[in-house]
Amino acid sequence: MMKSQRFPRSLSEVLATLTVLVFLGSIFVQFLSWTVGDDPALLARAESSAVSESLTTLRVVPVNETLAVNDSSPYRWILGAGFSESEADGTWVVSTEAVIEFNVEDSSPSAIRLSLSPFLSGGARRRSIEIETSVSRTAVDLEDGGKMVTLELDGSSRQQVRIRCESLGVPNSQAGLADRRALCAKLYVVEVVG
Protein backbone atom coordinates (compact mmCIF):
# COMPACT_ATOMS: atom_id res chain seq x y z
CA MET A 1 0.00 0.00 0.00
CA MET A 2 1.31 3.44 -0.96
CA LYS A 3 1.49 6.17 1.56
CA SER A 4 -0.16 9.32 0.40
CA GLN A 5 1.84 12.54 0.41
CA ARG A 6 0.67 15.11 2.87
CA PHE A 7 -0.46 18.38 1.30
CA PRO A 8 -1.59 21.43 3.25
CA ARG A 9 -5.25 21.06 3.94
CA SER A 10 -6.25 24.63 4.47
CA LEU A 11 -5.43 28.18 3.49
CA SER A 12 -4.01 28.82 6.96
CA GLU A 13 -1.51 25.96 6.52
CA VAL A 14 -0.47 27.33 3.12
CA LEU A 15 0.03 30.81 4.58
CA ALA A 16 1.97 29.42 7.55
CA THR A 17 4.24 27.47 5.18
CA LEU A 18 4.84 30.54 3.00
CA THR A 19 5.58 32.66 6.07
CA VAL A 20 8.20 30.17 7.26
CA LEU A 21 9.79 30.05 3.79
CA VAL A 22 9.93 33.85 3.51
CA PHE A 23 11.42 34.08 7.00
CA LEU A 24 14.09 31.48 6.19
CA GLY A 25 14.82 33.23 2.88
CA SER A 26 15.31 36.58 4.60
CA ILE A 27 17.69 34.98 7.10
CA PHE A 28 19.64 33.50 4.20
CA VAL A 29 19.87 36.88 2.42
CA GLN A 30 21.01 38.55 5.66
CA PHE A 31 23.62 35.82 6.13
CA LEU A 32 24.93 36.45 2.61
CA SER A 33 25.18 40.20 3.13
CA TRP A 34 26.86 39.58 6.46
CA THR A 35 29.48 37.24 5.02
CA VAL A 36 29.99 38.96 1.65
CA GLY A 37 30.08 42.53 2.99
CA ASP A 38 28.81 45.77 1.50
CA ASP A 39 26.87 45.75 -1.73
CA PRO A 40 29.55 45.99 -4.43
CA ALA A 41 27.25 48.21 -6.51
CA LEU A 42 27.67 50.93 -3.87
CA LEU A 43 31.46 50.71 -3.76
CA ALA A 44 33.67 52.80 -6.03
CA ARG A 45 35.50 50.89 -8.71
CA ALA A 46 39.16 51.81 -8.81
CA GLU A 47 40.54 53.07 -12.09
CA SER A 48 43.04 50.89 -13.85
CA SER A 49 46.56 52.29 -14.02
CA ALA A 50 46.18 52.64 -17.82
CA VAL A 51 43.05 54.80 -17.42
CA SER A 52 44.68 56.86 -14.70
CA GLU A 53 47.77 57.40 -16.85
CA SER A 54 45.72 58.42 -19.88
CA LEU A 55 43.85 61.02 -17.80
CA THR A 56 47.01 62.58 -16.33
CA THR A 57 47.13 65.48 -18.79
CA LEU A 58 43.38 66.10 -18.44
CA ARG A 59 43.75 66.27 -14.67
CA VAL A 60 46.12 69.23 -14.58
CA VAL A 61 44.40 72.10 -12.77
CA PRO A 62 45.29 75.75 -12.20
CA VAL A 63 45.60 77.13 -8.67
CA ASN A 64 43.53 79.92 -7.14
CA GLU A 65 40.70 79.54 -9.67
CA THR A 66 37.17 78.31 -9.14
CA LEU A 67 36.74 75.18 -11.25
CA ALA A 68 33.25 73.95 -12.09
CA VAL A 69 32.83 70.20 -12.34
CA ASN A 70 29.73 70.16 -14.55
CA ASP A 71 29.13 68.42 -17.87
CA SER A 72 30.71 71.22 -19.95
CA SER A 73 33.77 71.72 -17.74
CA PRO A 74 37.22 70.58 -18.86
CA TYR A 75 37.94 69.89 -15.17
CA ARG A 76 35.33 67.13 -14.76
CA TRP A 77 38.14 64.67 -15.48
CA ILE A 78 39.52 65.19 -11.97
CA LEU A 79 36.51 63.22 -10.71
CA GLY A 80 37.37 59.56 -10.45
CA ALA A 81 35.77 56.48 -9.05
CA GLY A 82 32.56 57.03 -7.08
CA PHE A 83 31.20 59.95 -9.10
CA SER A 84 28.35 59.79 -11.62
CA GLU A 85 28.46 61.42 -15.02
CA SER A 86 28.55 65.18 -14.68
CA GLU A 87 25.30 67.14 -15.00
CA ALA A 88 24.63 70.76 -15.93
CA ASP A 89 25.25 72.07 -12.40
CA GLY A 90 27.67 69.57 -10.89
CA THR A 91 28.36 65.89 -10.25
CA TRP A 92 26.81 63.44 -7.75
CA VAL A 93 28.76 61.18 -5.42
CA VAL A 94 27.06 57.83 -6.09
CA SER A 95 29.16 55.53 -3.94
CA THR A 96 30.21 55.22 -0.33
CA GLU A 97 33.60 56.55 -1.44
CA ALA A 98 34.52 58.91 -4.27
CA VAL A 99 37.95 60.09 -5.39
CA ILE A 100 39.14 63.43 -6.77
CA GLU A 101 42.56 63.21 -8.45
CA PHE A 102 44.49 66.10 -9.92
CA ASN A 103 47.95 67.43 -10.74
CA VAL A 104 49.29 70.92 -10.27
CA GLU A 105 52.18 72.22 -12.34
CA ASP A 106 54.60 74.93 -11.26
CA SER A 107 52.97 75.43 -7.88
CA SER A 108 52.76 73.91 -4.43
CA PRO A 109 49.08 73.45 -3.49
CA SER A 110 48.36 74.18 0.17
CA ALA A 111 44.58 73.65 0.38
CA ILE A 112 41.50 72.58 -1.50
CA ARG A 113 37.99 74.03 -1.28
CA LEU A 114 34.97 71.94 -2.24
CA SER A 115 31.43 73.24 -2.69
CA LEU A 116 28.99 70.44 -1.81
CA SER A 117 25.32 69.96 -1.05
CA PRO A 118 23.69 66.82 0.35
CA PHE A 119 21.06 64.56 -1.11
CA LEU A 120 18.35 64.54 1.57
CA SER A 121 15.36 62.21 1.60
CA GLY A 122 12.85 60.77 4.03
CA GLY A 123 12.78 63.84 6.23
CA ALA A 124 16.56 63.84 6.80
CA ARG A 125 17.94 67.26 7.69
CA ARG A 126 21.63 66.53 7.09
CA ARG A 127 24.01 64.00 5.57
CA SER A 128 27.29 63.08 7.23
CA ILE A 129 30.39 62.75 5.08
CA GLU A 130 34.13 62.56 5.67
CA ILE A 131 36.70 64.20 3.41
CA GLU A 132 40.34 63.18 3.48
CA THR A 133 43.61 64.32 1.88
CA SER A 134 47.07 62.95 2.59
CA VAL A 135 47.48 65.38 5.53
CA SER A 136 43.95 66.33 6.58
CA ARG A 137 40.66 64.68 7.45
CA THR A 138 37.38 66.28 8.44
CA ALA A 139 33.87 65.08 9.21
CA VAL A 140 31.15 67.31 7.80
CA ASP A 141 27.40 67.42 8.33
CA LEU A 142 25.97 68.78 5.09
CA GLU A 143 22.64 70.52 5.49
CA ASP A 144 20.17 71.80 2.92
CA GLY A 145 21.80 74.65 1.02
CA GLY A 146 25.26 73.07 1.04
CA LYS A 147 28.61 74.10 2.37
CA MET A 148 32.09 75.11 1.28
CA VAL A 149 34.65 72.77 2.89
CA THR A 150 38.39 73.54 3.04
CA LEU A 151 41.11 70.94 3.66
CA GLU A 152 44.88 71.19 3.83
CA LEU A 153 47.02 69.67 1.05
CA ASP A 154 50.61 68.42 1.37
CA GLY A 155 52.14 70.62 -1.34
CA SER A 156 53.03 67.85 -3.80
CA SER A 157 52.12 68.22 -7.45
CA ARG A 158 49.94 65.09 -7.49
CA GLN A 159 46.94 65.05 -5.14
CA GLN A 160 44.11 62.73 -4.20
CA VAL A 161 41.05 63.66 -2.14
CA ARG A 162 38.57 61.05 -0.85
CA ILE A 163 34.94 61.73 0.01
CA ARG A 164 33.34 59.04 2.18
CA CYS A 165 29.61 58.84 2.69
CA GLU A 166 28.09 57.27 5.75
CA SER A 167 25.04 56.31 3.68
CA LEU A 168 23.35 56.83 0.33
CA GLY A 169 19.76 57.77 -0.45
CA VAL A 170 17.45 57.01 -3.36
CA PRO A 171 15.19 59.71 -4.81
CA ASN A 172 11.44 59.26 -4.53
CA SER A 173 9.67 58.35 -7.74
CA GLN A 174 7.54 61.19 -9.05
CA ALA A 175 5.13 61.22 -11.97
CA GLY A 176 5.83 57.58 -12.70
CA LEU A 177 9.55 58.16 -13.34
CA ALA A 178 11.80 55.91 -11.31
CA ASP A 179 15.17 57.40 -10.43
CA ARG A 180 16.99 54.51 -8.77
CA ARG A 181 20.39 56.16 -8.39
CA ALA A 182 21.95 55.96 -4.96
CA LEU A 183 23.09 59.49 -4.09
CA CYS A 184 25.19 61.06 -1.33
CA ALA A 185 26.17 64.63 -2.18
CA LYS A 186 26.64 66.85 -5.20
CA LEU A 187 29.95 68.52 -5.90
CA TYR A 188 29.69 71.87 -7.71
CA VAL A 189 33.10 73.54 -7.70
CA VAL A 190 36.66 72.85 -6.65
CA GLU A 191 39.35 75.40 -5.90
CA VAL A 192 42.98 74.45 -5.39
CA VAL A 193 44.79 77.06 -3.32
CA GLY A 194 48.45 77.71 -4.04
The CATH number of residue 108's host domain is: 2.60.120.260
This prediction's pTM: 0.72
Residue 4 lies in a domain: no
DSSP assignments along 22-54, one per residue:
HHHHHHHHHHHHHHH-S-GGGSPPPPPHHHHHH
Residue 2 lies in a domain: no
3-state secondary structure 93-137: ECCCEEEEEEECCCCCCCEEEEEEEECCCCCCCEEEEEEECCCCE
Label residue 19 by pLDDT band (50, 70, 90): confident
Q: How many domains, in total, are found in the chain? A: 2
Helix (H) or strand (E) holding 66: strand 66-68
Q: Among residues of the chain, what percentage have pLDDT more than 90?
A: 60
Query: What pLDDT score was predicted for residue 45?
Result: 55
Residue 160 lies in domain: 43-171+179-193
Residue 5 lies in a domain: no
* Together in a domain, 51 and 110: yes
* Tens of pLDDT, residues 47-101: 556 555 656 778 999 999 999 999 999 999 999 999 999 999 999 999 999 999 9
14-27: average pLDDT:
72
* Together in a domain, 101 and 146: yes
98 Ramachandran zone, left/alpha/beta (phi>0; psi -120 to 50): beta
40 pLDDT above the threshold of 50: no
Residue 102 lies in a domain: yes
